[in-house]
Chain A
């Protein structure tokens, strides 16, 4: 015999299940996803309106540093080539800057470290919700871009990385507003030490007004492009391509 309570319970579970499978279908519907993603553009434009293009991320004092700076994503790039670089202290690591530039560059780490550098204590915000405060030292990106000379038509910078994440090459991209922001840098030091492997040795991007997945690690090539369409799957980054994360990660 079916008890009344059991019946009500199974009716509720059935209704819940129906509602839920409906919800999952709605969530997977391309038109719905397109509509939801429309808010990303609105968010980016709104943030660009309220924030001056040179508005700085907060800089903290040494007393505010996280005791341990958490590493996330790739913590150890696979492959013999990276391992050889690591063992050699990245002495032969080259950073290539090419694409829509007047003077393509190939710089050694020593050359990059000899350039004027900036040190900033900033908060790193992961899309997952945690934050860590670290002290970054590196070369402001605009100095590198001035040296290479962007050609007209360049609108984005692609950061090609030495790591693969879930069987795809990691890459990220930013536009020129963030590229020329005074705090945007290629960092080679964290907390007064050479950048650790877990945090992107030997070079990582810092783009302080966006979330952590934009801060490409293990950067080996910066490519200036007119459009994101031809790179990867065309959405401007690994997480954007494969997981529908927002390209503009200001929130």
Chain B
């Protein structure tokens, strides 16, 4: 095959090309649903005791590094010694019927919307299984079909600071890859997806398990790894913040890159390559 023929087969801007595998698409949509259930039921669980500590123990008499509450008619978030007034959103807010509630996260951010630790735990621990089983299956499939090695692991060239900086600058100017280059993840995407897949997800699962007294008996090393049950609870909460940030940036990028084309590629697997820019 001559070099010429290969270049003729190279897809170009405007072509509709296969982009996402079935396993990627299925896992994406399962997770899109699961992560919202986990975040919102998790916020309700947090509402049961809206204080975070470092160490093995922590209860109302102990020093919290973060707490959400109310003083008088004000909702308050306290981080260390700093107090922020958050009336209406955190600590003190009105429910749909206009009744004042003194809980940390408001009704529109939690599952269920009115206070129930028991129900939140039902949702959280069911979808925890969905998250874990999905992540293990996707991880295994993606190692076997070499999706991780081929598409997600950055090569040495991409990891050069100058290359990363160039990608950041291009993103900041909203100049996304076009033509055949848009077929592959850029280095920022690779790092973002890898840090979720091998960073946030394992961390959130392991810190979740560290809060379980049953799992503590089975795997006591987890307590040492995270420095105690209350430290694990704090890290678990920070991970949730990490997921929320990821989702925010992810959705922003989808909107900026063309929501119809992006959503289609995640539903049908087919993606129309953006036209090359006339430089």
Interface residues, chain A, with chain B CB atoms under 8 Å away? 16-17, 20, 23-24, 27, 33, 35-40, 42-43, 47, 50-52, 55-58, 60, 64, 66-68, 70, 123, 125-133, 208-211, 239, 243-246, 250-251
Could you name 22 residue pairs across A and B whose Cβ atoms are closer than 8 Å?
Answer: A23-B113, A24-B113, A36-B126, A39-B122, A39-B125, A39-B128, A43-B125, A47-B212, A51-B217, A55-B217, A57-B216, A123-B56, A128-B48, A128-B117, A129-B46, A130-B58, A130-B230, A131-B229, A208-B217, A250-B214, A251-B125, A251-B212
Across chains A and B, which 5 residue pairs bring their CB atoms closest together, nearest first?
A: A250-B214, A51-B218, A251-B212, A129-B49, A130-B59
Interchain CB contact under 8 A, A245 and B217: no
Interface residues, chain B, with chain A CB atoms under 8 Å away? 45-46, 48-49, 51, 56-62, 96, 107-108, 111-114, 117-119, 121-123, 125-126, 128-129, 209, 211-220, 223, 229-230, 233
Interchain CB contact under 8 A, A23 and B112: yes
Known A-B contacts A36-B126, A250-B212; A129 and B57 likewise in contact (beta carbons under 8 Å): no
User: Could you say which residues of chain B place their CB within 8 Å of the CB of A132?
Assistant: 57, 59
The secondary-structure label for the interface of chain B is helix
Q: How many angstroms from the CA of A116 to the CA of B219 in the assembled complex?
A: 29
| Residue of B61, B122, B125, B213 with most chain A CB atoms under a 10 A cut-off | B213
Partner of A20, one of B48, B62, B108, B223: B108
User: Could you say which residues of chain A place their CB within 8 Å of the CB of B45?
Assistant: 129
Interchain CB contact under 8 A, B223 and A58: yes
Interchain CB contact under 8 A, A250 and B213: yes
Interchain CB contact under 8 A, B122 and A58: no
| Residue on B nearest A127 in the bound complex, by CB | B117
Interchain CB contact under 8 A, A60 and B125: no
Q: How many angstroms from the CA of A199 to the CA of B59 in the assembled complex?
A: 15
Q: How many angstroms from the CA of A246 to the CA of B124 in the assembled complex?
A: 12
Question: Min CB distance, B268 to chain A, in Å?
Answer: 26
| Residue on B nearest A52 in the bound complex, by CB | B218
Question: Min CB distance, A228 to chain B, in Å?
Answer: 18
Interchain CB contact under 8 A, A16 and B108: yes
Interchain CB contact under 8 A, B113 and A130: no
User: Could you say which residues of chain A place their CB within 8 Å of the CB of B60?
Assistant: 70, 130
Partner of B126, one of A39, A51, A211, A245: A39
Q: How many angstroms from the CA of A97 to the CA of B233 in the assembled complex?
A: 38
Interchain CB contact under 8 A, B59 and A66: yes
Known A-B contacts A36-B122, A123-B229, A209-B217; A70 and B129 likewise in contact (beta carbons under 8 Å): no
Q: How many angstroms from the CA of A250 to the CA of B121 in the assembled complex?
A: 12
Beyond the given A57-B213, A130-B230, could you list 11 further A-B residue pairs with CB under 8 A, ordered by the A residue number? A17-B96, A20-B96, A23-B113, A35-B126, A60-B56, A64-B57, A209-B213, A239-B118, A246-B125, A250-B213, A251-B211
Q: How many angstroms from the CA of A126 to the CA of B211 in the assembled complex?
A: 10
Question: Min CB distance, B236 to chain A, in Å?
Answer: 10
Interchain CB contact under 8 A, A66 and B49: no
Interchain CB contact under 8 A, B214 and A210: yes
User: Could you say which residues of chain B place their CB within 8 Å of the CB of A127?
Assistant: 48, 117, 121
Q: How many angstroms from the CA of A67 to the CA of B53 in the assembled complex?
A: 14
Question: Min CB distance, A83 to chain B, in Å?
Answer: 27
User: Could you say which residues of chain A place their CB within 8 Å of the CB of B126?
Assistant: 35-36, 38-39
Question: Min CB distance, A210 to chain B, in Å?
Answer: 6
Question: Min CB distance, B225 to chain A, in Å?
Answer: 13
Known A-B contacts A57-B217, A131-B230, A250-B213; A37 and B122 likewise in contact (beta carbons under 8 Å): yes
| Residue on B nearest A130 in the bound complex, by CB | B59
| Residue on B nearest A43 in the bound complex, by CB | B125
Known A-B contacts A47-B215, A51-B214; A131 and B48 likewise in contact (beta carbons under 8 Å): no
User: Could you say which residues of chain A place their CB within 8 Å of the CB of B61?
Assistant: 66-68, 70
Interchain CB contact under 8 A, B49 and A133: no
Q: How many angstroms from the CA of A244 to the CA of B233 in the assembled complex?
A: 23
Known A-B contacts A24-B112, A251-B125; A245 and B118 likewise in contact (beta carbons under 8 Å): yes
User: Could you say which residues of chain A place their CB within 8 Å of the CB of B219?
Assistant: 50
User: Could you say which residues of chain A place their CB within 8 Å of the CB of B217?
Assistant: 51, 55-58, 208-209
Interchain CB contact under 8 A, A39 and B129: yes
